[in-house]
Structure 1
Amino acid sequence: MTPLSADSVEALFTRSDGQYLFARWGRPIVPVIFGVEPPSVATLKGAIEALCVLTGHKMAETDPELGANLMIFFCRDWSELPEVPNLDRLIPDLDHLIARLTEAQANQYRIFRFDEAGAVRACFSLIRMDQHLSDVPAETLALNQMVQAMLLWSDTAFAQASPLAMASGNAVLRPDIADLMRAAYDPVLPAHAQDASHALRLAARLGRTQ
Protein backbone atom coordinates (compact mmCIF):
# COMPACT_ATOMS: atom_id res chain seq x y z
CA MET A 1 0.00 0.00 0.00
CA THR A 2 1.22 3.52 -0.82
CA PRO A 3 2.35 5.50 2.25
CA LEU A 4 0.07 8.24 3.44
CA SER A 5 0.85 11.67 2.01
CA ALA A 6 1.80 14.55 4.28
CA ASP A 7 -1.62 16.10 3.64
CA SER A 8 -3.35 12.86 4.63
CA VAL A 9 -1.28 12.61 7.81
CA GLU A 10 -2.07 16.21 8.66
CA ALA A 11 -5.79 15.60 8.16
CA LEU A 12 -5.75 12.68 10.61
CA PHE A 13 -4.63 15.02 13.40
CA THR A 14 -6.46 18.21 12.39
CA ARG A 15 -9.63 18.65 14.38
CA SER A 16 -12.95 19.90 13.03
CA ASP A 17 -12.13 23.38 14.39
CA GLY A 18 -9.02 23.49 12.19
CA GLN A 19 -6.49 22.94 14.99
CA TYR A 20 -3.62 20.51 14.46
CA LEU A 21 -3.19 18.51 17.66
CA PHE A 22 -1.09 15.38 18.07
CA ALA A 23 -0.37 13.43 21.25
CA ARG A 24 0.84 9.95 22.05
CA TRP A 25 1.12 8.15 25.37
CA GLY A 26 3.95 9.37 27.55
CA ARG A 27 3.82 6.52 30.07
CA PRO A 28 3.19 2.75 30.06
CA ILE A 29 -0.44 1.83 29.45
CA VAL A 30 -2.36 0.10 32.23
CA PRO A 31 -5.80 -0.95 30.92
CA VAL A 32 -8.87 -1.86 32.93
CA ILE A 33 -12.18 -2.81 31.30
CA PHE A 34 -15.66 -2.66 32.79
CA GLY A 35 -18.98 -4.05 31.63
CA VAL A 36 -17.92 -7.10 29.57
CA GLU A 37 -17.26 -10.78 30.24
CA PRO A 38 -13.73 -12.13 30.80
CA PRO A 39 -13.28 -13.42 27.22
CA SER A 40 -13.97 -9.92 25.88
CA VAL A 41 -11.55 -8.43 28.42
CA ALA A 42 -8.86 -10.77 27.11
CA THR A 43 -9.64 -9.77 23.52
CA LEU A 44 -9.38 -6.07 24.31
CA LYS A 45 -6.15 -6.46 26.26
CA GLY A 46 -4.76 -8.59 23.44
CA ALA A 47 -5.47 -5.77 20.99
CA ILE A 48 -3.68 -3.15 23.07
CA GLU A 49 -0.75 -5.53 23.60
CA ALA A 50 -0.46 -6.03 19.85
CA LEU A 51 -0.45 -2.28 19.23
CA CYS A 52 2.19 -1.76 21.90
CA VAL A 53 4.36 -4.33 20.14
CA LEU A 54 3.76 -2.53 16.84
CA THR A 55 4.68 0.90 18.19
CA GLY A 56 7.34 -0.14 20.67
CA HIS A 57 5.34 1.33 23.53
CA LYS A 58 5.06 -0.34 26.94
CA MET A 59 2.34 -1.72 29.17
CA ALA A 60 2.55 -2.07 32.94
CA GLU A 61 0.73 -3.72 35.82
CA THR A 62 -0.05 -0.45 37.55
CA ASP A 63 0.26 3.29 37.08
CA PRO A 64 1.87 4.93 40.14
CA GLU A 65 -0.41 7.95 39.87
CA LEU A 66 -3.75 6.52 38.75
CA GLY A 67 -3.52 2.76 39.24
CA ALA A 68 -5.04 2.21 35.79
CA ASN A 69 -4.78 4.87 33.08
CA LEU A 70 -6.75 3.36 30.17
CA MET A 71 -10.26 2.80 31.46
CA ILE A 72 -12.84 1.35 29.11
CA PHE A 73 -16.51 1.33 30.10
CA PHE A 74 -19.11 -0.68 28.17
CA CYS A 75 -22.82 -0.11 28.67
CA ARG A 76 -26.14 -0.79 26.95
CA ASP A 77 -27.49 2.69 27.66
CA TRP A 78 -25.73 5.91 28.62
CA SER A 79 -27.99 6.19 31.67
CA GLU A 80 -26.06 3.27 33.22
CA LEU A 81 -22.83 5.24 33.57
CA PRO A 82 -23.76 7.26 36.69
CA GLU A 83 -24.12 3.92 38.48
CA VAL A 84 -20.38 3.25 38.08
CA PRO A 85 -18.75 4.07 41.44
CA ASN A 86 -16.62 7.23 41.42
CA LEU A 87 -16.90 7.73 37.64
CA ASP A 88 -18.13 11.27 38.26
CA ARG A 89 -14.79 11.96 39.98
CA LEU A 90 -12.87 10.82 36.91
CA ILE A 91 -15.12 12.59 34.40
CA PRO A 92 -16.27 16.07 35.46
CA ASP A 93 -19.80 17.09 34.46
CA LEU A 94 -20.70 13.47 33.80
CA ASP A 95 -24.45 14.14 33.78
CA HIS A 96 -24.03 16.88 31.18
CA LEU A 97 -21.86 14.59 29.03
CA ILE A 98 -24.43 11.79 29.22
CA ALA A 99 -27.16 14.20 28.13
CA ARG A 100 -25.05 15.26 25.12
CA LEU A 101 -24.24 11.67 24.13
CA THR A 102 -27.88 10.63 24.48
CA GLU A 103 -29.10 13.54 22.37
CA ALA A 104 -26.52 12.80 19.68
CA GLN A 105 -27.35 9.06 19.79
CA ALA A 106 -23.60 8.47 20.02
CA ASN A 107 -22.25 5.00 20.62
CA GLN A 108 -18.71 5.91 21.73
CA TYR A 109 -16.73 8.74 23.26
CA ARG A 110 -13.15 9.13 24.44
CA ILE A 111 -11.73 11.55 26.98
CA PHE A 112 -7.97 12.08 27.13
CA ARG A 113 -5.92 13.54 29.96
CA PHE A 114 -2.44 14.96 29.43
CA ASP A 115 0.72 15.48 31.45
CA GLU A 116 2.75 18.69 31.72
CA ALA A 117 4.53 17.94 28.43
CA GLY A 118 1.25 17.40 26.58
CA ALA A 119 1.64 13.62 26.29
CA VAL A 120 -1.33 11.35 27.04
CA ARG A 121 -1.44 10.33 30.69
CA ALA A 122 -4.92 8.74 30.71
CA CYS A 123 -7.81 7.84 28.45
CA PHE A 124 -11.40 7.11 29.42
CA SER A 125 -13.27 5.29 26.66
CA LEU A 126 -17.06 5.09 26.87
CA ILE A 127 -18.81 2.61 24.59
CA ARG A 128 -22.56 2.09 24.25
CA MET A 129 -23.29 -1.27 22.66
CA ASP A 130 -26.07 -0.25 20.31
CA GLN A 131 -27.28 -2.50 17.49
CA HIS A 132 -24.49 -1.41 15.17
CA LEU A 133 -21.65 -2.17 17.59
CA SER A 134 -23.36 -5.35 18.77
CA ASP A 135 -23.18 -6.67 15.22
CA VAL A 136 -19.42 -6.05 15.01
CA PRO A 137 -17.19 -9.08 15.79
CA ALA A 138 -15.47 -8.76 19.15
CA GLU A 139 -11.96 -8.83 17.66
CA THR A 140 -12.83 -6.08 15.19
CA LEU A 141 -14.41 -3.90 17.87
CA ALA A 142 -11.44 -4.42 20.19
CA LEU A 143 -8.82 -3.51 17.58
CA ASN A 144 -10.74 -0.46 16.39
CA GLN A 145 -11.21 0.85 19.93
CA MET A 146 -7.58 0.33 20.88
CA VAL A 147 -6.31 2.06 17.73
CA GLN A 148 -8.33 5.13 18.65
CA ALA A 149 -7.04 5.08 22.24
CA MET A 150 -3.35 4.85 21.26
CA LEU A 151 -3.15 8.34 19.75
CA LEU A 152 -5.07 11.59 19.95
CA TRP A 153 -6.54 11.37 16.47
CA SER A 154 -8.71 14.10 14.99
CA ASP A 155 -12.38 13.91 15.91
CA THR A 156 -13.03 13.37 12.18
CA ALA A 157 -10.06 11.08 11.46
CA PHE A 158 -11.98 7.93 10.60
CA ALA A 159 -15.35 9.38 9.64
CA GLN A 160 -14.88 8.43 5.99
CA ALA A 161 -12.59 5.40 6.19
CA SER A 162 -11.94 2.87 8.95
CA PRO A 163 -8.40 2.34 10.25
CA LEU A 164 -9.05 -1.38 9.69
CA ALA A 165 -9.18 -3.55 6.57
CA MET A 166 -10.27 -7.11 5.87
CA ALA A 167 -7.72 -9.85 5.20
CA SER A 168 -8.81 -13.47 4.74
CA GLY A 169 -12.10 -12.66 6.43
CA ASN A 170 -10.47 -11.05 9.47
CA ALA A 171 -10.17 -7.39 10.43
CA VAL A 172 -6.58 -6.16 10.52
CA LEU A 173 -4.96 -2.77 10.92
CA ARG A 174 -4.50 -1.03 7.57
CA PRO A 175 -0.80 -1.13 6.62
CA ASP A 176 -0.64 2.64 6.08
CA ILE A 177 -2.18 3.30 9.50
CA ALA A 178 0.17 0.76 11.08
CA ASP A 179 3.16 2.56 9.56
CA LEU A 180 1.84 5.89 10.79
CA MET A 181 1.34 4.60 14.32
CA ARG A 182 4.85 3.15 14.34
CA ALA A 183 6.25 6.50 13.19
CA ALA A 184 4.15 8.39 15.75
CA TYR A 185 5.91 6.52 18.55
CA ASP A 186 9.40 7.11 17.20
CA PRO A 187 11.29 8.46 20.23
CA VAL A 188 13.01 11.02 18.00
CA LEU A 189 9.67 12.77 17.49
CA PRO A 190 7.85 14.73 20.22
CA ALA A 191 5.03 13.17 22.21
CA HIS A 192 2.90 16.28 21.65
CA ALA A 193 2.65 18.73 18.76
CA GLN A 194 0.36 21.58 17.75
CA ASP A 195 2.17 22.73 14.62
CA ALA A 196 1.15 21.10 11.34
CA SER A 197 4.83 20.86 10.35
CA HIS A 198 4.86 17.83 12.65
CA ALA A 199 2.83 15.99 9.98
CA LEU A 200 5.69 16.54 7.52
CA ARG A 201 8.09 14.87 9.94
CA LEU A 202 5.74 11.92 10.34
CA ALA A 203 5.25 11.59 6.59
CA ALA A 204 9.01 11.70 5.99
CA ARG A 205 9.47 8.75 8.29
CA LEU A 206 6.76 6.82 6.47
CA GLY A 207 8.69 7.21 3.25
CA ARG A 208 11.83 5.77 4.78
CA THR A 209 10.06 2.70 6.16
CA GLN A 210 8.84 1.51 2.77
Structure 2
Amino acid sequence: MEPDEIEALFTRSDGSYAFARWGRALAPVVFGVEETTLATIKGAFEAVCHLAGHETTELDPELGANTMMFFCRDWSELVGVPNLDRLVPDLGPLVAKLDAAEANQYRIFRFDEAGAIRACFIFLRMDDQLSAVPADTLALSQAVQSMLLWSDTAFADRSPLGQLEDGRVVLRPEIGALIRAAYDPVMPAATGDASHALRLAARVGGMS
Protein backbone atom coordinates (compact mmCIF):
# COMPACT_ATOMS: atom_id res chain seq x y z
CA MET A 1 0.00 0.00 0.00
CA GLU A 2 1.18 3.51 -0.79
CA PRO A 3 1.59 6.00 2.09
CA ASP A 4 -1.24 8.19 0.82
CA GLU A 5 -3.59 5.19 0.72
CA ILE A 6 -2.76 4.36 4.32
CA GLU A 7 -3.02 7.98 5.40
CA ALA A 8 -6.52 8.16 3.91
CA LEU A 9 -7.64 5.20 6.03
CA PHE A 10 -6.91 7.16 9.21
CA THR A 11 -7.80 10.68 8.05
CA ARG A 12 -11.23 11.66 9.29
CA SER A 13 -13.81 13.62 7.35
CA ASP A 14 -12.74 16.79 9.20
CA GLY A 15 -9.22 16.38 7.77
CA SER A 16 -7.51 15.28 10.99
CA TYR A 17 -5.25 12.22 11.20
CA ALA A 18 -6.23 9.99 14.11
CA PHE A 19 -4.78 6.55 14.76
CA ALA A 20 -5.21 4.26 17.75
CA ARG A 21 -4.86 0.54 18.42
CA TRP A 22 -5.88 -1.52 21.42
CA GLY A 23 -3.72 -1.13 24.50
CA ARG A 24 -5.12 -4.24 26.20
CA ALA A 25 -6.48 -7.66 25.31
CA LEU A 26 -9.99 -7.69 23.84
CA ALA A 27 -12.71 -9.20 26.02
CA PRO A 28 -15.73 -9.46 23.69
CA VAL A 29 -19.33 -10.02 24.68
CA VAL A 30 -22.31 -10.18 22.32
CA PHE A 31 -25.98 -9.42 22.97
CA GLY A 32 -29.00 -10.35 20.89
CA VAL A 33 -27.79 -13.44 19.00
CA GLU A 34 -28.07 -17.20 19.28
CA GLU A 35 -25.32 -19.33 20.78
CA THR A 36 -24.07 -20.57 17.39
CA THR A 37 -23.68 -17.01 16.10
CA LEU A 38 -21.94 -16.01 19.32
CA ALA A 39 -19.22 -18.59 18.70
CA THR A 40 -18.77 -17.31 15.13
CA ILE A 41 -18.37 -13.71 16.29
CA LYS A 42 -15.90 -14.52 19.04
CA GLY A 43 -13.97 -16.70 16.60
CA ALA A 44 -13.65 -13.75 14.21
CA PHE A 45 -12.25 -11.49 16.93
CA GLU A 46 -9.78 -14.19 17.96
CA ALA A 47 -8.65 -14.64 14.36
CA VAL A 48 -8.05 -10.93 13.76
CA CYS A 49 -6.25 -10.55 17.09
CA HIS A 50 -4.04 -13.53 16.21
CA LEU A 51 -3.24 -11.89 12.87
CA ALA A 52 -2.20 -8.72 14.68
CA GLY A 53 -0.14 -10.55 17.28
CA HIS A 54 -2.61 -9.29 19.87
CA GLU A 55 -4.74 -11.20 22.39
CA THR A 56 -8.30 -11.84 23.46
CA THR A 57 -9.32 -12.66 27.00
CA GLU A 58 -12.44 -13.79 28.83
CA LEU A 59 -12.29 -10.94 31.32
CA ASP A 60 -10.81 -7.46 31.36
CA PRO A 61 -9.58 -6.78 34.92
CA GLU A 62 -10.90 -3.21 34.85
CA LEU A 63 -14.05 -3.38 32.71
CA GLY A 64 -15.03 -7.05 32.61
CA ALA A 65 -16.07 -6.90 28.96
CA ASN A 66 -14.41 -4.20 26.88
CA THR A 67 -15.77 -5.09 23.43
CA MET A 68 -19.56 -5.08 23.46
CA MET A 69 -21.61 -5.91 20.37
CA PHE A 70 -25.36 -5.28 20.39
CA PHE A 71 -27.71 -6.70 17.75
CA CYS A 72 -31.20 -5.23 17.40
CA ARG A 73 -34.07 -5.01 14.92
CA ASP A 74 -34.89 -1.40 15.77
CA TRP A 75 -32.66 1.28 17.28
CA SER A 76 -35.27 2.03 19.95
CA GLU A 77 -34.50 -1.38 21.51
CA LEU A 78 -31.19 0.02 22.79
CA VAL A 79 -32.99 2.43 25.12
CA GLY A 80 -34.41 -0.57 27.00
CA VAL A 81 -31.04 -2.27 27.58
CA PRO A 82 -30.35 -2.09 31.35
CA ASN A 83 -27.55 0.33 32.30
CA LEU A 84 -26.53 0.96 28.67
CA ASP A 85 -27.16 4.66 29.20
CA ARG A 86 -24.44 4.58 31.87
CA LEU A 87 -21.95 3.16 29.38
CA VAL A 88 -23.03 5.35 26.46
CA PRO A 89 -23.74 8.96 27.46
CA ASP A 90 -26.58 10.67 25.59
CA LEU A 91 -27.95 7.31 24.46
CA GLY A 92 -31.39 8.74 23.71
CA PRO A 93 -30.16 11.45 21.30
CA LEU A 94 -27.80 8.92 19.69
CA VAL A 95 -30.66 6.48 19.04
CA ALA A 96 -32.72 9.30 17.52
CA LYS A 97 -29.78 10.31 15.31
CA LEU A 98 -29.21 6.74 14.09
CA ASP A 99 -32.92 6.26 13.44
CA ALA A 100 -33.17 9.50 11.46
CA ALA A 101 -30.12 8.55 9.37
CA GLU A 102 -31.54 5.04 8.77
CA ALA A 103 -28.10 3.72 9.81
CA ASN A 104 -27.56 0.02 10.30
CA GLN A 105 -24.28 0.10 12.24
CA TYR A 106 -22.38 2.35 14.62
CA ARG A 107 -19.23 2.06 16.72
CA ILE A 108 -18.09 4.02 19.76
CA PHE A 109 -14.52 3.84 21.06
CA ARG A 110 -13.19 4.72 24.50
CA PHE A 111 -9.51 5.45 25.12
CA ASP A 112 -7.01 5.22 27.97
CA GLU A 113 -4.65 7.94 29.22
CA ALA A 114 -2.12 7.13 26.47
CA GLY A 115 -4.77 7.38 23.75
CA ALA A 116 -4.92 3.62 23.09
CA ILE A 117 -8.29 1.92 22.70
CA ARG A 118 -9.66 0.61 25.99
CA ALA A 119 -13.24 -0.21 24.97
CA CYS A 120 -15.46 -0.47 21.92
CA PHE A 121 -19.26 -0.54 21.65
CA ILE A 122 -20.67 -1.93 18.39
CA PHE A 123 -24.32 -1.46 17.48
CA LEU A 124 -25.91 -3.33 14.57
CA ARG A 125 -29.49 -2.88 13.37
CA MET A 126 -30.38 -5.98 11.40
CA ASP A 127 -32.17 -4.44 8.46
CA ASP A 128 -32.64 -6.25 5.14
CA GLN A 129 -29.10 -5.36 4.05
CA LEU A 130 -27.29 -6.70 7.12
CA SER A 131 -29.64 -9.67 7.47
CA ALA A 132 -28.57 -10.82 4.00
CA VAL A 133 -24.89 -10.93 5.04
CA PRO A 134 -23.66 -14.37 6.23
CA ALA A 135 -22.84 -14.42 9.96
CA ASP A 136 -19.14 -15.23 9.44
CA THR A 137 -18.74 -12.37 6.94
CA LEU A 138 -20.49 -9.89 9.20
CA ALA A 139 -18.44 -11.03 12.20
CA LEU A 140 -15.11 -10.69 10.36
CA SER A 141 -16.03 -7.27 9.02
CA GLN A 142 -16.93 -5.96 12.48
CA ALA A 143 -13.83 -7.45 14.08
CA VAL A 144 -11.58 -5.76 11.50
CA GLN A 145 -13.32 -2.40 11.85
CA SER A 146 -13.03 -2.57 15.65
CA MET A 147 -9.35 -3.50 15.69
CA LEU A 148 -8.09 0.01 14.91
CA LEU A 149 -9.48 3.51 15.00
CA TRP A 150 -10.09 3.74 11.27
CA SER A 151 -11.31 6.92 9.63
CA ASP A 152 -15.07 7.43 9.61
CA THR A 153 -14.83 7.21 5.80
CA ALA A 154 -12.25 4.39 5.59
CA PHE A 155 -14.39 1.67 4.04
CA ALA A 156 -17.15 3.75 2.51
CA ASP A 157 -16.14 2.84 -1.05
CA ARG A 158 -14.55 -0.56 -0.55
CA SER A 159 -14.97 -3.25 2.09
CA PRO A 160 -11.94 -4.47 4.06
CA LEU A 161 -12.97 -7.96 2.90
CA GLY A 162 -12.63 -9.64 -0.48
CA GLN A 163 -14.05 -12.74 -2.12
CA LEU A 164 -12.03 -15.68 -3.41
CA GLU A 165 -12.86 -17.56 -6.60
CA ASP A 166 -14.49 -20.33 -4.57
CA GLY A 167 -16.83 -17.80 -2.99
CA ARG A 168 -15.16 -17.61 0.42
CA VAL A 169 -14.94 -14.15 1.96
CA VAL A 170 -11.58 -13.25 3.49
CA LEU A 171 -9.71 -10.23 4.77
CA ARG A 172 -8.00 -8.35 1.94
CA PRO A 173 -4.25 -9.13 2.18
CA GLU A 174 -3.18 -5.48 2.22
CA ILE A 175 -5.55 -4.71 5.10
CA GLY A 176 -4.25 -7.72 7.01
CA ALA A 177 -0.67 -6.55 6.48
CA LEU A 178 -1.63 -3.05 7.63
CA ILE A 179 -3.18 -4.37 10.84
CA ARG A 180 -0.03 -6.42 11.56
CA ALA A 181 2.14 -3.36 10.92
CA ALA A 182 -0.03 -1.21 13.18
CA TYR A 183 0.49 -3.64 16.07
CA ASP A 184 4.27 -3.74 15.67
CA PRO A 185 5.55 -3.14 19.24
CA VAL A 186 7.85 -0.34 18.07
CA MET A 187 4.92 1.62 16.64
CA PRO A 188 2.92 4.06 18.80
CA ALA A 189 -0.39 2.95 20.30
CA ALA A 190 -1.94 6.26 19.28
CA THR A 191 -0.94 9.31 17.28
CA GLY A 192 -2.32 12.30 15.43
CA ASP A 193 0.81 12.73 13.31
CA ALA A 194 0.19 11.90 9.64
CA SER A 195 3.86 10.91 9.17
CA HIS A 196 2.82 7.75 11.02
CA ALA A 197 1.36 6.56 7.69
CA LEU A 198 4.87 6.60 6.18
CA ARG A 199 6.14 4.31 8.93
CA LEU A 200 3.19 1.98 8.44
CA ALA A 201 3.80 1.89 4.68
CA ALA A 202 7.44 0.92 5.22
CA ARG A 203 6.39 -2.00 7.42
CA VAL A 204 3.61 -3.12 5.09
CA GLY A 205 6.11 -3.08 2.21
CA GLY A 206 8.50 -5.23 4.23
CA MET A 207 5.79 -7.86 4.67
CA SER A 208 5.04 -8.27 0.97
Q: 1:170: how far off? A: 1.1
Counterpart CA distance in 1 for 2:193 and 2:74 is: 38
Counterpart CA distance in 2 for 1:136 and 1:59 is: 25
Q: Which residue of 2 is the match for residue 190 of structure 1?
A: 188
Q: Which residue of 2 is the match for residue 125 of structure 1?
A: 122
Moved beyond 6 Å, runs of 4+: none
Counterpart CA distance in 2 for 1:130 and 1:187 is: 39
Q: TM-score, normalised by structure 2?
A: 0.99
Q: 1:65: how far off? A: 1.0
List runs of 5+ in structure 2 lacking aligned partners: none
Counterpart CA distance in 2 for 1:29 and 1:136 is: 24
Q: 1:77: how far off? A: 0.3
List runs of 5+ in structure 1 lacking aligned partners: none
The AA in structure 2 aligned to 1:179 is: A
Q: Secondary structure at the match of 2:70?
A: strand
- Alignment length (residue pairs): 207
Q: Which residue of 1 is the match for residue 202 of structure 2?
A: 204
Q: Which residue of 2 is the match for residue 50 of structure 1?
A: 47
Q: Which residue of 2 is the match for residue 88 of structure 1?
A: 85
For each residue in 1:75-102, what CA deviation from the matched residue of structure 2 results, as whole angstroms up to 9, or x when unmatched?
0000100111100000000000000000
The AA in structure 2 aligned to 1:196 is: A
Q: Secondary structure at the match of 2:185?
A: coil
Q: TM-score, normalised by structure 1?
A: 0.98
Aligned residues: CA RMSD: 0.5
Counterpart CA distance in 2 for 1:72 and 1:65 is: 18
Q: 1:38: how far off? A: 0.6
Q: Which residue of 1 is the match for residue 108 of structure 2?
A: 111
- 1:69 matched to 2:66: yes
Q: Which residue of 2 is the match for residue 178 of structure 1?
A: 176
For each residue in 1:36-57, what CA deviation from the matched residue of structure 2 results, as whole angstroms up to 9, or x when unmatched?
0011110000000000110000
